[in-house]
């Protein structure tokens, strides 16, 4: 009996170890060329450090919906899913989150996992939520909840903006704002009927921005830098709608302006004016300092999550978590 017990123990130990080490490649699903390049860079860096398992990048045809399906069907092991789509990934495709995204704002400050939709303007303006009609606005993307979907929903719910078309919020936004830059507003994905909302593109440096929906980190960063160029360098816009984490990252604190900076250092600052010259528009009609985003925001958005199949073994999930944490 004792011999059989020892044999069973050795068999189970052997099985456990084979399960824990059988993942030779981690297939990471990406949705576009930017994410693919980032994935490949991560894969190369991990290979140099001899981290295992090795990462293979898998790119399906279209957006995140395909990545959900790709992971669910076992053609990929993991994907980064946007916050608003985490529920769909869980309910329809049976995926679960194993790690959540966060942002490092400064060396000592790590931003919360969730983020807030905020509206920023300069202190010397007289803008509030109640006199936004006719103003010039800039947004990071038509697909960014913090930059477009949430602000438009708030304005409609409060009756400040009139709903003109039940099928597309773009029509209401076009009639409400005088000029805007909303990348993707004229793209086939957001505007399949090609509604005439050309004023939502009139502030973009290149009209082609309005026909291409930003999909990768680089595209989003270009849009966000454009927000600050429009507000600070060339004041073409009155209000910027964006994610509070990006606002904190891109609007430098005052101490960075206290000592003369080299030209190259100053060029790295997206905004050429300090954070104290910015204010947030609150939904009750008041304004607040940028650092008060938790109290003065237009809504909260769940962070993106690294998601895998629910039935994936616990050992494999831990291996993925350890790989990403150590990397």
Residues 250 and 184 in one domain: yes
Q: How many domains is the chain built from?
A: 2
User: 101: how many CB neighbours lie within 10 A of its CB?
Assistant: 18
Highest mean pLDDT among 21-25, 75-79, 92-96, 212-216: 75-79
Query: By C-alpha distance, which of 181, 80, 78, 176 is closest to 134?
Result: 176
Residues 217 and 287 in one domain: yes
Residues 184 and 281 in one domain: yes
Judged against a pLDDT cut of 70, whether residue 2 lies above it is answered with: no
What the block records as the tokens of 40 is 């490949």
Least confident of 87-91, 217-221, 314-318: 217-221
Residues 72 and 122 in one domain: no
Q: In which element (H, E) is residue 308 found?
A: strand 305-309
Contact 218, 206 (CB under 8 A): no
Residues 95 and 198 in one domain: no
Residues 88 and 115 in one domain: no
% of the chain with per-residue pLDDT over 70: 69
Contact 28, 39 (CB under 8 A): yes
Question: How far is it, in rounded angstroms, from Cα 242 to Cα 183?
Answer: 13
* Average pLDDT over every residue of 69-86: 86
Phi and psi at 18, nearest 5°, equal -65, -35
Residues 168 and 204 in one domain: yes
Residues 155 and 218 in one domain: yes
Residues 265 and 166 in one domain: yes
Contact 248, 290 (CB under 8 A): yes
Banded model confidence at residue 134, pLDDT cuts 50, 70, 90:
very high
The helix/strand/coil state of 54 is strand
CA angle 129, 213, 79 (to 5 degrees): 105
Question: How far is it, in rounded angstroms, from Cα 184 to Cα 214?
Answer: 7
- Whether the bond between 53 and the residue before it is cis, its omega within 30 degrees of 0, is yes
Question: How far is it, in rounded angstroms, from Cα 301 to Cα 100?
Answer: 13
Phi and psi at 229, nearest 5°, equal -65, -40
Which domain range does residue 320 map to? 2-101+304-326
Tens digit of each residue's pLDDT (9 = 90 or more) over 226-252 = 566 655 555 578 898 988 877 777 665
Residues 200 and 115 in one domain: yes
CATH number of the domain that 229 lies in? 3.40.190.10
Residues 131 and 97 in one domain: no
Tens digit of each residue's pLDDT (9 = 90 or more) over 172-227 = 999 999 998 888 888 777 777 888 888 988 887 665 556 665 554 444 445 555 56
Provide the residue count of the chain.
327
CA torsion through residues 135, 141, 144, 149, sign: positive
User: 243: how many CB neighbours lie within 10 A of its CB?
Assistant: 23
Top pLDDT among 119 and 326 is at 119
Q: List Cα–Cα distances, 197 to 41, 102, 136, 163, 174, in angstroms.
A: 38, 35, 14, 14, 6
Residues 239 and 292 in one domain: yes
């Amino acid at each position: 009996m004792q011999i059989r017990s020892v044999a069973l123990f050795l068999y189970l130990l052997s099985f456990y170890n084979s399960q824990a080490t059988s993942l030779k490649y981690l297939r990471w699903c990406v949705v576009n060329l930017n994410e693919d390049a980032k994935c490949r860079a991560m894969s190369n860096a991990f290979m140099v450090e001899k981290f295992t398992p090795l990462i293979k990048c898998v790119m399906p045809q279209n957006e995140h919906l395909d990545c959900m399906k790709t992971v669910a069907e076992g053609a990929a092991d993991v994907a980064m899913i946007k916050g608003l789509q985490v529920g769909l990934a869980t309910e329809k495709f049976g995926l679960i989150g194993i790690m959540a995204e966060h942002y490092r704002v400064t060396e000592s400050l790590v931003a919360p996992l969730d983020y807030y939709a905020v509206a920023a303007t300069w202190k010397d303006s007289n803008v509030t939520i109640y006199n936004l009609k006719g103003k010039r606005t800039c947004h990071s993307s038509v697909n960014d909840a913090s930059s477009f979907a949430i602000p438009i929903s708030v304005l409609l719910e409060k009756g400040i903006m009139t709903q003109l078309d039940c099928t597309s919020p773009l029509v209401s936004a076009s009639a409400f704002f005088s000029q805007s830059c909303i990348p993707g507003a004229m793209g086939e994905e957001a505007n399949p009927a090609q509604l005439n909302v050309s004023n939502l593109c009139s502030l973009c440096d290149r009209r082609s921005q309005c026909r291409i929906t930003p999909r990768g980190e680089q595209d989003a960063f270009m849009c966000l830098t454009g927000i600050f160029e429009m507000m600070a360098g060339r004041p073409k816009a009155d209000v910027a709608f964006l994610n509070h984490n990006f606002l904190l990252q891109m609007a430098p604190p005052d101490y960075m302006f206290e000592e003369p900076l080299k030209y190259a250092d100053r060029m790295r600052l997206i905004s050429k004016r300090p954070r104290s010259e910015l204010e947030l528009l609150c939904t009750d009609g008041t304004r607040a300092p940028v650092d008060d985003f938790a109290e003065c925001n237009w809504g909260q958005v769940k962070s993106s999550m690294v998601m895998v199949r629910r039935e994936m073994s616990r050992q494999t999930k831990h291996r993925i978590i350890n790989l990403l944490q150590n990397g």
